[in-house]
Structure 1
């Protein structure tokens, strides 16, 4: 049985939890390297210091908008667009290739009427 949305936010699968914790750590590192405090970042994004602290801890219930805002403020927003790119989805490409029609002859090849 699939997990409910509430369950995902309170006890995500370990892989999801680890990825969020790593993202939060990376965002905190980027903020500290820029010598920005949580208060400064919170004011810039219009959220509370507590919300940013939760994002930096990788809390699953933190809105994706907060993570996107952090990336934007840190000058790293282009990295968000790199997530889940279809050209890097090897499993999806493999599965799609099974559904593609198979050609009887190469495309654009000459027709041969020699029977």
Structure 2
């Protein structure tokens, strides 16, 4: 859909992304055997870099944040530092 909105043929997008036509076709078909780099290259070629950044944004990982909260200790204690009289 994004490619068509930009009025790009699949060959044009593949060339712009630096991947083969067959790989671009596999990406559009949703072929899971296609490398992640090809998907990212096509997003980049269409100017959708912000979509790429969302993949790795830890703030969007709701499940991970909940797991982290369950593992946090109830209390945190700091040991008192002893002063040895030296500066």
TM range (shorter): 0.7 to 0.9
Aligned residue runs from structure 1 range 14-29, under 5 A: 29=1
**Aligned partner (choices 25, 28, 31) of residue 53 of structure 1:** 25
Match of 2:62 among 66, 90, 93: 90
Tell me what 1:67 maps to. 39
Runs of 4+ that moved beyond 6 A: none
Q: Which residue of 2 aligns with 1:44?
A: 16
Q: Secondary structure at the match of 2:13?
A: helix
Give the alignment's Cα RMSD to 1 decimal.
1.6
1:74: how far off? 0.6
Q: Take 1:95 and 1:66, find their aligned partners in 2: how far apart are those partners?
A: 31
Q: Structure 2: where are the runs of 5+ without partners? A: 77-87
- Decide whether aligned partners of structure 1 residues 89 and 33 sit closer, same or farther in structure 2, where only a CA change above 3 A counts: same
TM-score (norm 1): 0.59
1:99 paired residue number: 71
> Secondary structure of the equivalent of 1:102?
coil
Quick one: higher RCO (CA 8 Å, sep 6+), 1 or 2?
A: 1
What's 2:53 paired with? 81
Return closer, same or farther for 1:86/1:46 CA change in 2, 3 Å cut-off: closer
In structure 1, the gaps of 5 or more residues are: 1-28, 105-115
